[in-house]
Structure 1
Amino acid sequence: MPNRLAHETSPYLLQHADNPVDWWPWVPAAFDEARRRGVPVLLSVGYSSCHWCHVMAHESFEDAPTAAYLNEHFVAVKVDREERPDIDAVYMEAVQAATGQGGWPMTVFLTPDAEPFYFGTYFPPEPRHGMPSFRQVLEGVGAAWNDRRDEVGQVARRIVRDLSERTLAVDTTRAPGAEDLHAALLGLTRDFDAVRGGFGGAPKFPPAMTVEFLLRHHVRTGSEAALEMASATCEAMARGGIYDQLGGGFARYSVDASWVVPHFEKMLYDNALLCRAYAHLWRATGSELARRVALETADFMVRELRTAQGGFASALDADSDDGSGRHVEGAHYVWTPAQLREVLGEEDALLAAEYFGVTQEGTFEEGASVLRLPDTDRLWDAAKLASVRARLLAARDRRPRPGRDDKVVAAWNGLAVAALAETGAFFDRPDLVQAATDAADLIVRTHMDWHARLFRTSLDGVAGDHAGVLEDYADVAEGFLALSSVTGEGVWVDFAGLLLDTVLVHFTAPDGALYDTADDAEPLIRRPQDPTDNAAPSGWTAAAGALLAYAARTGSGAHREAAEKALGVVRTLGPKAPRFVSWGLAVAEALLDGPREVAVVGPGDHPATRELHRTALLSTAPGLAVAVGDPGSEEVPLLSGRTLLDGRPAAYVCRHFTCDAPTADPEVLAARLGGSGSGGPVG
């Protein structure tokens, strides 16, 4: 019989709707029930594409005796961390403070007042490697609650007090300067893996935001070291197993330091950020590999993650059926030599095995290999390889597919809008620009109410009940502003302004610091406030970027001032931990550069207008703001008062709305912007 999760919209919660555990969603009634029964609360937090979440669910939550014990002694609450990042952040902070580590599934025991007192992540069904079994944990926590409840209450209250006393020592009075960004670059240089690309050791996560900072720093300062680190990292990832060599798109991370064996789940946010980073790398260097990866990743998002309503689903699972009924991580993606021969025949299988690095020993389980690209000078038969790729992809498409989390998250769709809009514009792919527009339309129709407040998620075109957090407002505004630059439609600037005004009113402290939740959001034991970038930009740094970008298009001093105050965190963290404030560093590069603004005026269907517009979009100037419209257009303030030049389409290059003389010459425009990367037509 389904439990209370059967009426939820989160795919992750619905995965647990048939568990014998009597799950509750996070609602006040669950804590009222714990209070009535005098029992503690088990809080279990995960997400749908989490491998170890599936493992623990199968081992413990689907086990009838374990579920019966859990139901008798606890009230069980299940939370989707992607749907409620505020709850996840608050209790993950407690887990990390208590244990020194974190992860998912996150397992936290709470009092009926939602105060945490015991923590963990995955617990096995039997004691293993010094780790207690889940049943032992339940029995131990239950005994402590029954026999030493006053002591448990004291511990819980102390933990909440300690969390509440944690404060951020951030100076919001001054934005970072050139010396701060240089110190951050030196920190990245020390952490750079010169042999294998990337930063640090295993596991390695794709550092898209760090690449963005390095590219911008190179443009502003001419640092060849910054460009080399960005280029080498992107090439290593693109050649590794973390990149899907057949279907495009990136896995979440590599379990090794060489980008060979991935953790196979594919997240929308990773692919949106990496698509944009590779497009920007092509813009800076003309790299054919970067161009191919940007386009293939964009096509992957549209092909595999686009929903019927025009939005983008959250993720693909790591696990899938291996053909024998077993769910195995990576089963959809890996190959053995025998499987290559079955699909390609003997001769082409030998070619594919050599090209993609498939060996008898394999790089994964049971002799299977992930596919990688060679790093050799050998000349390969391009037509033959294209045929091999097509046949392997067609054969793979007949395999059981990984599950998809169809939940549409506002923030991650904002990232996808920005990536697809720019990639489509760079490479003359109007279909990608249209996909970005469709996703933006869905956000406005489904996620945004009349008061410019966002809902975090939707499913099948229906918004969920959960309020948007700071990253939703910031990333959606960023996507809208990028879309406006590409399409010339000023309405997207207007929508971005509405969202950013909400940020200023409901998420911003008097000193300019930012909170992850609004001032009228559901109160938790602590109001979350995390400025550090992780797999995606933090709401804090994303908001700084969107506020600055909006000010560059509108001349709003209030939004620019808010951005500068928010960037004070980069002065604090950038030199110490640059990898964890990379997007903030990228935004700071834009601030130091101006950012520059380009207004292009001319009839939209005029070839000269299109050429000036394309020249502006291909500029590598950090954080460049572009507006394009007809003469006399008032849609975007940056266009106001801009006229044609002797009857010809013209471009104005400005800083803080103070502009150079207009030019009708794309080459002059490129020179004023400091060069336009690779530029030119794309074959």
Structure 2
Amino acid sequence: MASRLADATSPYLRAHADNPVAWFPWGEEAFAEARRRDVPVMVSIGYSTCHWCHVMARESFSDAAVAAVLNDGFVSVKVDREEHPEVDAAYMAAAGAFTRNLGWPLTVFATPDGQPFFAGTYWPPEARPPMAGFPQVLGAVREAWTQRRSEVLDTGTQLAAALARLAEAEAADESRTPTREQLSDAAGRLIALEDREHGGFAAAGAGMQTPKFPTVPALRFLQAPRLDRTAADVATRALTAMASSELRDAVDGGFFRYATRRDWTVPHYERMLTDNAGLIDVALDAGDDRVARGIASFVREVLQLPSGGFAAAQDSESTIDGARSEGGYYLRDAAGRRDLAPPAVDGKVVTGWNGMAIGALARAALALDEPDLLEAARWAADAVLEVNVDDDGMLRRASLDEIPSRAPAALEDWGLLAGGLFDLAAATGEVAYAVRARELLDACLTDGSGTLIVRAPGGGDPVLAAQGLAAPADESDGDHPSGRSAVAAAAFTAWALGAGDRYRRVAAAMTATAAPSALAQPIGAGAMLRVAAQLAEGPRQVVVIAAPPTGALVDAARRVRADVLTFVTPAQAEAFAAAGFSLFEGKTSQGGAPTLYDCRDFACRLPVTEPDQVSAER
């Protein structure tokens, strides 16, 4: 029944509500119905701004004949990967057993007990060799289920066992934290991947048809403190190339998801909150204020919703002259867009992604002296903490129209929101945000028998848990930090703010656990490697006591390269210290003038009051 999706807290699901397919949302009800009918389950996973998801919806899920086959022989489940990242990760891992061409839409066939036994991505409505047509696939799966059931069940059992092994977490050992030399070697491997002709990363000999992504976590690692200057230059060249290419919207400053060609041309036009939040930080560290302002303006003016939260993405498609057009709107100049309706935004407020944007805007507000950005960050934080939190204090993954999703928050949501709130506290001087961030972080950490356990409170998705499925523990940093990287980064910031050495130990143990794979494959571990680099160097903490935060000293401090940069009044410094953030103890104004304390690994130099005494570089 289409009505099952009509009230979903996902625009992607709502877009399928009128399909003739009798969709179920993700949940135990779908699998119970499959057991009752003794039919397999088709799990279709996508997201609102996915172009090929739209194509498959138009070609197959809107077709009455295809829908009749699905409704007769399957229970069909529609999943928004952004709302249920754990479900997506578990089924993506399973799909790897059947196809190398992983992506979205992801189509997985499972037993009524949830065990995957076949998977693929986009299938066309008719065969296009070497691709089978979707009706052929449905027929083959149905035939296997009815005629070769024992083989199907055996495949599902073997896959579930393999996924369970992948999900086993390795015990953390702080002694294996990466050294400076190891981090330099990892940076060297990334530098060797630089596309010296077009910027960014590409394998040697890559053709012009090679897709290129911003790969923000890898760029942020190259901008980490004390790496060779060559590393930061690679990040700067990548940003410059992307900013001057078709990947960046020349009208409003936002960046598209990726380019389909190596020279950053022919973009895939969806625009993600995660990419743009991360690129704000890349631009700030590269010293490109113009690009940083442009991205921040896009995030605030296009993605910020009336509720205060930030939308997950903006679509690649819009309607022009009565027809759906991918990218047509973005190919117009400002005047050409004036009379066009812009592509829709996915109004889903994802908790962790909002945490990324909150942190990025808070840092940009300090560096660029843009109070409006700070207010946007504060507004979003208040909205997320109001709507995306249960009465019992548990985070939800997302909300839509100020209605929280039933999906539990993933580990990345807890870690990224904590990190964003720490940054907001530093920028506003409001200790309440730091206290809330510490609470979120603590909820993810369990110390038992000398072993650190890091997991999302609540135990993850209950349906997956009941089916014995789990997402692989070896998360990578793709377009944004993984859950473990986000928690490690938040723990490092908590330590740098003076919340206690326990948090340093947490960050060190997590980077140590990730070290073998991260050092070997740095392109997919940039966020965790950045934390490792910060630990290897030790934090630089800059506290400016000023009421109000204005004047020449404050202006000089805005561009200081530090792990913690905060402007607080004397009263706010006292409040931080009283709340257990020891960095702020004894920080007072000298003679009533704005005063800067420059601390390295908690050892503070003599306070200064003159702008020429401020060192911007580490």
Q: Give the TM-score normalised by structure 1.
A: 0.84
1:432 corresponds to 2:373? yes
Say if 1:652 and 1:662, in contact at 8 Å, map to a contact too. yes
Say if 2:446 and 2:454, in contact at 8 Å, map to a contact too. no
Q: Which residue of 2 aligns with 1:629?
A: 569
Match of 2:294 among 293, 296, 313: 296
Distance 1:497 1:333 in 2: 41
Q: Which residue of 1 aligns with 2:213?
A: 205
- 1:525-536 map, 5 Å: 525-528=468-471, 529-536=473-480
Residues 413/509 of structure 1: CA separation in 2 closer, same or farther (3 Å cut): farther
Residues 233/491 of structure 1: CA separation in 2 closer, same or farther (3 Å cut): same
- 1:291-370 map, 5 Å: 291-323=289-321, 325-334=322-331
Between the aligned residues of both structures, percent identity stands at 39
Aligned residues: 601
Distance 2:338 2:361 in 1: 24
Deviations 1:632-678 (A, max 9, x none): 613242212223334444222224433233222333232xx635xxx
Distance 1:674 1:7 in 2: 52
Say if 2:409 and 2:456, in contact at 8 Å, map to a contact too. no
Say if 1:553 and 1:625, in contact at 8 Å, map to a contact too. no
Q: Which residue of 2 aligns with 1:577?
A: 521
Greater Cα offset, 451-460 or 639-648:
639-648
1:281 corresponds to 2:221? no
Per-residue deviation at 1:535?
1.0
Distance 1:475 1:187 in 2: 27
Q: Which residue of 2 aligns with 1:619?
A: 560
Distance 2:438 2:101 in 1: 38
Say if 2:123 and 2:131, in contact at 8 Å, map to a contact too. yes
Say if 1:183 and 1:574, in contact at 8 Å, map to a contact too. no
Say if 1:187 and 1:575, in contact at 8 Å, map to a contact too. no
Distance 1:581 1:484 in 2: 27
1:267 corresponds to 2:272? yes
Per-residue deviation at 1:315?
1.0
Per-residue deviation at 1:449?
3.8
Extract unaligned runs of 5+ from structure 2: none
Deviations 1:93-117 (A, max 9, x none): 1112332231000000000100000
Residues 56/510 of structure 1: CA separation in 2 closer, same or farther (3 Å cut): farther
Extract unaligned runs of 5+ from structure 1: 283-289, 336-391, 676-683
Per-residue deviation at 1:475?
0.9
Distance 1:510 1:246 in 2: 54
Q: Which residue of 1 aligns with 2:102?
A: 102
Secondary structure at the counterpart of residue 542 of structure 2: strand
Distance 1:509 1:117 in 2: 38
The amino acid that maps onto 1:331 is G
Per-residue deviation at 1:627?
5.6
Secondary structure at the counterpart of residue 222 of structure 2: helix
Distance 2:191 2:520 in 1: 13
Say if 1:320 and 1:401, in contact at 8 Å, map to a contact too. yes
Say if 2:235 and 2:282, in contact at 8 Å, map to a contact too. no
- 1:352-431 map, 5 Å: 392-431=333-372
Distance 1:165 1:479 in 2: 33
Distance 2:393 2:179 in 1: 34
Say if 2:217 and 2:478, in contact at 8 Å, map to a contact too. no
Distance 1:634 1:403 in 2: 43
Q: Which residue of 2 aligns with 1:227?
A: 232
Say if 2:446 and 2:453, in contact at 8 Å, map to a contact too. no
1:62 corresponds to 2:5? no
Greater Cα offset, 661-670 or 45-54:
661-670
The amino acid that maps onto 2:144 is A
Residues 331/665 of structure 1: CA separation in 2 closer, same or farther (3 Å cut): same
Distance 2:172 2:516 in 1: 7
Match of 2:224 among 216, 220, 229: 216
Distance 2:384 2:585 in 1: 28
1:668 corresponds to 2:616? no
Per-residue deviation at 1:590?
1.6
Say if 2:358 and 2:381, in contact at 8 Å, map to a contact too. yes
Greater Cα offset, 414-423 or 631-640:
631-640
Distance 1:626 1:20 in 2: 55
1:9 corresponds to 2:17? no
Per-residue deviation at 1:297?
1.0
Greater Cα offset, 417-426 or 470-479:
417-426
Q: Which residue of 1 aligns with 2:505?
A: 561
Say if 1:45 and 1:105, in contact at 8 Å, map to a contact too. yes
1:654 corresponds to 2:591? no
Distance 2:318 2:80 in 1: 21
Per-residue deviation at 1:441?
0.8
Distance 2:251 2:593 in 1: 46
Secondary structure at the counterpart of residue 512 of structure 1: strand
1:483 corresponds to 2:428? no
Secondary structure at the counterpart of residue 554 of structure 1: coil
The amino acid that maps onto 1:251 is F
Per-residue deviation at 1:5?
1.0
Say if 1:454 and 1:467, in contact at 8 Å, map to a contact too. yes
Per-residue deviation at 1:292?
1.3
Distance 1:260 1:521 in 2: 39
Q: Which residue of 1 aligns with 2:183?
A: 181
The amino acid that maps onto 1:191 is L
Match of 1:257 among 256, 262, 266: 262
Per-residue deviation at 1:444?
1.3
Residues 463/526 of structure 1: CA separation in 2 closer, same or farther (3 Å cut): same
Say if 2:545 and 2:595, in contact at 8 Å, map to a contact too. yes
Q: Which residue of 1 aligns with 2:451?
A: 511
Q: Which residue of 2 aligns with 1:172?
A: 173
Residues 667/211 of structure 1: CA separation in 2 closer, same or farther (3 Å cut): farther
The amino acid that maps onto 1:232 is R
Say if 1:421 and 1:486, in contact at 8 Å, map to a contact too. yes
Residues 328/434 of structure 1: CA separation in 2 closer, same or farther (3 Å cut): same
Say if 2:257 and 2:267, in contact at 8 Å, map to a contact too. yes
Per-residue deviation at 1:400?
3.4
Distance 2:306 2:7 in 1: 21
Residues 138/184 of structure 1: CA separation in 2 closer, same or farther (3 Å cut): same
Secondary structure at the counterpart of residue 525 of structure 2: helix
Say if 1:481 and 1:492, in contact at 8 Å, map to a contact too. yes
Per-residue deviation at 1:450?
5.3
Residues 509/187 of structure 1: CA separation in 2 closer, same or farther (3 Å cut): farther
Say if 1:598 and 1:652, in contact at 8 Å, map to a contact too. yes
Say if 2:172 and 2:452, in contact at 8 Å, map to a contact too. no
The amino acid that maps onto 1:630 is P
RMSD: 2.1
The amino acid that maps onto 1:198 is G
Per-residue deviation at 1:412?
0.9
Per-residue deviation at 1:453?
2.1
Distance 1:519 1:153 in 2: 27
The amino acid that maps onto 1:209 is P
Residues 198/577 of structure 1: CA separation in 2 closer, same or farther (3 Å cut): same
Say if 2:548 and 2:569, in contact at 8 Å, map to a contact too. no
Deviations 1:369-410 (A, max 9, x none): xxxxxxxxxxxxxxxxxxxxxxx3132132232122111101
Per-residue deviation at 1:513?
5.6
